[in-house]
Amino acid sequence: MAETGASPLPSTPTARSPLFRAEQFVWLTARVLEQRLFAYHFLHSTPDAVEAALDAYRNEDGGYGHALEPDLRGPVSQPLHTAHALRVLDAIGRCGGQRVERLCRYLTSISTADGALPAIHPSQRGYPAAPFVPVVDDPPSDLLATGPVVGLLHRNEVWHAWLFRATDFCWQAVESLEKSHPYEVEASVAFLDSAPDRSRAEAAADRLGRLVREQRLAALEPDRLDAYPVASGYAPGEHHFPHDFAKSPESLARAWFTDDEMARSLDHLAAEQQDDGGWPLRWRQWAPAPALEARPLVTIEALRTLRAYGRFVG
């Protein structure tokens, strides 16, 4: 469903348009992977180039490391890196085959006793990591790590033994949520949007949407952000908006918000583009390199969200 008055994303960036400015920002600051992702999404490049860049982060165990997720440094495979790799493969239509079979074997090898994923595997110890992702010896299962992975595998009709217990974990975790926070809700939506049991997913999403509104987890009035609390442990000003939960009109989370609320959210997203052409980070920045590497990722995601809603960004 396109928003009123929206125009399609142009096939070629117009000089000094938001898309042109974002392109210059990407060429100036991004890693090779994000440069090729931008070219794939907006400049008619091929998925082969993206896949070749992603392979540089793949390890022999089938997982991914080497700071693919910028807030975790070092070479070792981690669940969050692997989730990131799956998002890339899904975006270019390559989420299947032997690569994903090996990836699922890696997920099996690091799973917790209940078959789900920890946020951080203890192998991260000794390498730099953001202070908000602490390394512990016996990490519990984590919905933020497991939900998006399970959702992406279901979305691409990947069938592997690992998925059975991991899917059960996600259902139990999502359906038992009471007091939540925005990133947990985003992980839940990533699972629900692709869960095979659609009627169950719709019911869970309806309940989750009521929770989001009751707990004021989405800032519905961008010009009155002081009226919306920031979740405990988040950075000052780390608000979340309707477009963060409903990244496309097809998401189950889109039904949580009125057309006016979504329009205000998208207006705010478009207006966030900085003078250098990139979009800002809202979460806590702890070192220069992770922040530099994350901004092109955030910029590409902002452009894709605007395009998904038919917003003209050229």
Distance CA 202, CA 252 (A): 7
H or E element at residue 302: helix 288-308
What is the Cα–Cα distance from 289 to 279, expressed in whole angstroms? 16
Q: Is the pLDDT of residue 7 over 70?
A: no
In the numeric block, the tokens 């010896």 are attached to: 137
Q: What sign has the CA pseudo-torsion 255, 257, 258, 263?
A: negative
| Alpha-carbon distances of 268 from 19, 171, 177, 222, rounded to whole Å | 16, 33, 29, 7
Which pLDDT band holds residue 236 (cuts at 50, 70, 90)?
very high
Question: Looking up tokens 């070749």, which residue turns up?
Answer: 52
Give the C-alpha distances (Å, rounded to integers) separating 34 from 14, 38, 66, 256. Answer: 21, 6, 15, 31
Residue whose pair of structure tokens reads 């099996």 in the numeric block: 108
Q: For position 313, what pLDDT does the model report?
A: 60
Residues 6+ apart with CB under 8 A from 131: 286
- DSSP single-letter state for residue 129: B
pLDDT in tens, 188-223: 999 999 999 999 999 999 999 999 999 999 999 999
Q: Look at residue 105 and give its three-state secondary structure.
A: helix
Q: Which two tokens stand for residue 54?
A: 């992603």
**Global pTM value:** 0.93
The distance in angstroms from the start CA to the end CA of the chain is 20
Decide if pLDDT at 296 tops 70: yes
The CA distances from residue 137 to 81, 118, 120, 145, 258, in Å, are: 19, 11, 10, 17, 44
Q: Which letter does DSSP use for residue 220 in this model?
A: S
Q: What SS3 state is found at 117?
A: coil
Q: Which residue has the tokens 């901004």?
A: 295
- What is residue 118's three-state secondary structure? strand
Q: Which amino acid is at 67?
A: A
Q: Are 166 and 111 in contact (CB under 8 A)?
A: yes
Task: Compute the average pLDDT of residues 82-93.
Answer: 97
Separation of alpha carbons 138 and 198, rounded Å: 34
Split at pLDDT 50, 70, 90, the class of 10 is: very low
Q: Give Cα 69 to chain centroid, integer Å.
A: 11
Output the pLDDT for position 16.
80
What's the whole-number mean pLDDT along residues 141-160? Answer: 97
Choice between 11 and 120, residue whose per-residue pLDDT is larger = 120
